[in-house]
Amino acid sequence: MLIVLVGLPGSGKSTVGRQLARRLGLPFRDSDHDIEARIGCSIREFFEREGEAAFRDIEQEVIRELTQVGPCVLATGGGAVLRPANREQLRRTGCVVYLRSAPEELFRRLRHDSQRPLLQVADPLQRLRALYEERDPLYRETCHYVIETGRPSVSTLVNMVMMQLELAGVLQPRP
């Protein structure tokens, strides 16, 4: 079984994904880490040097490959849903969970993070609001389930995802 996490930067895809994978006894994969291994530098450097279109080409290739590796928990980059091919591939091959966070909540979490290329702007909160406006409909189109992240702990979010998947019959309830 492939469980895919989508959402804006900082919504918890990697952190929740790692713990979810551990709880389920599945491998954890992060598409951004696979991309960095392939390009041999940080996404930020590649973005600055080659541009977003070149990055999205590699991202599409990596996502296609990762959806074929077998059962795992896959955290995607925040912009993975921008390409229709990625949305279709993720939805068709995995059980997609959207970790939905309000832009203000993300800003609170990310305000000191200098590693996210899309947030290196004069007004990061406004940038997050614009990203949310653009991407929320795409996340909703791609996902099977929406989990509101709010401010619970990571373990609470993992429990929320597991409960949703159990209620949906995707996972067998654990004793």
> Is 24 domain-assigned?
yes
> Is 173 domain-assigned?
no
> Is 158 domain-assigned?
yes
Instruction: Retrieve residue 16's tokens.
Output: 């929740």
Is 169 assigned a ligand-binding role in the annotation?
A: no
pLDDT of res. 137: 98
- SS3 breakdown of the chain: % helix, strand, coil, rounded to 5? 60, 15, 30
CB atoms within 10 A of CB 16: 25
> Is 56 domain-assigned?
yes
DSSP 119: G
Which residues form the domain of 102? 2-167
Task: Give CA–CA dist 64/22, Å, rounded.
Answer: 23
Is 135 assigned a ligand-binding role in the annotation?
A: yes
> Is 44 domain-assigned?
yes
Instruction: Retrieve residue 146's tokens.
Output: 């929406």
Domain count of the chain? 1
Task: Give CA–CA dist 20/138, Å, rounded.
Answer: 23
DSSP 152: -
> Is 109 domain-assigned?
yes
> Is 26 domain-assigned?
yes
Is 11 assigned a ligand-binding role in the annotation?
A: yes
Is 40 assigned a ligand-binding role in the annotation?
A: no
Is 136 assigned a ligand-binding role in the annotation?
A: no
> What sign for the dihedral angle of Cα 60, 61, 62, 65?
positive
Q: What is the pLDDT along the chain (175 residues), one digit of tens a residue?
A: 899 999 998 899 999 999 999 999 999 999 999 999 999 999 989 988 999 999 999 999 999 999 999 999 999 999 999 999 999 999 999 999 999 999 999 988 877 776 666 677 889 899 999 999 999 999 999 999 999 998 778 999 999 999 999 998 888 877 6
Q: Which helix (H) or strand (E) holds 141?
A: helix 124-142
> Is 174 domain-assigned?
no
Residue 78: which CATH number?
3.40.50.300
Is 13 assigned a ligand-binding role in the annotation?
A: yes
Is 140 assigned a ligand-binding role in the annotation?
A: no
Give yes or no for a contact between 17 and 99, defined as CB atoms under 8 angstroms apart. Answer: no
pLDDT of res. 117: 63
Is 10 assigned a ligand-binding role in the annotation?
A: yes
